[in-house]
C-alpha cells in the first residue's frame, strides 16, 4: 500500500480506484448531504411555531392527599364494613335462634298461632 502511494507520487500517476470504493464514496457523500439537510431543517428558525391558547385548557388538579385524610377515609371504610358484618351476624343469629325456638315449640306442642 505504501509502495503504491510512493510510486504514484513519484511518477504522477492517478490512483487506481475500484468500483466498490467509488460506490461507497458516493453513498457516504449522499448520507452526509442528507444529514446536513436534516440538521438545517431541524434548526431552521424561519418557520413560525403554532401556539395553543392557554385559556382553552384547565390545569390538571393535584391528586396529592395528606396522610391524615387518607387514614381517616380508610378508618371510615373499616368502621362501615365492621358495622355491616355485625348486622349480618346479628341477622344470622336471630334467624338461627328463631328456627330453634320454632322447633322447640313444635316438639312441645305449644306453638303460638299468629293473630
Task: Grade residue 115 by pLDDT with cuts at 50, 70 and 90.
Answer: very low
Specify the pLDDT at position 80.
Answer: 97
pLDDT digits (tens, 9 = 90+) for 42-76: 887 666 667 766 676 777 888 888 999 999 999 99
Distance CA 15, CA 44 (A): 41
Distance CA 75, CA 81 (A): 10
Q: How many residues does the chain have?
A: 115
For the chain, the domains span 2-42, 71-115
Position with higher pLDDT, 49 vs 30: 30
Specify the pLDDT at position 47.
Answer: 60
User: What is the 8-class DSSP label of residue 57?
Assistant: S
Query: What average pLDDT does range 9-13 have in this prediction?
Result: 80
Integer angstrom CA distances of residue 35 from 9, 21, 24, 29, 44 = 34, 21, 16, 10, 14
Let me know: does 81 contact 88? Beta carbons within 8 Å.
Answer: no
User: What is the 8-class DSSP label of residue 50?
Assistant: P
pLDDT digits (tens, 9 = 90+) for 68-102: 999 999 999 999 999 999 999 999 988 888 888 88
Amino acid at each position: 500500500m505504501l509502495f503504491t502511494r510512493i510510486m504514484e507520487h513519484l511518477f504522477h500517476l492517478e490512483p487506481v480506484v475500484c468500483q466498490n470504493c467509488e460506490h461507497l464514496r458516493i453513498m457516504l457523500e449522499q448520507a452526509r448531504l442528507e444529514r446536513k439537510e436534516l440538521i438545517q431543517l431541524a434548526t431552521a428558525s424561519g418557520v413560525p411555531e403554532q401556539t395553543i391558547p392557554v385559556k382553552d385548557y384547565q390545569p390538571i388538579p393535584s391528586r396529592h392527599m395528606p396522610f391524615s385524610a387518607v387514614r381517616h377515609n380508610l378508618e371510615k371504610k373499616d368502621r362501615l364494613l365492621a358495622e355491616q358484618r355485625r348486622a349480618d351476624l346479628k341477622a344470622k343469629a336471630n334467624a338461627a335462634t328463631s328456627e330453634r325456638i320454632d322447633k322447640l315449640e313444635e316438639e312441645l306442642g305449644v306453638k303460638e298461632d299468629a293473630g
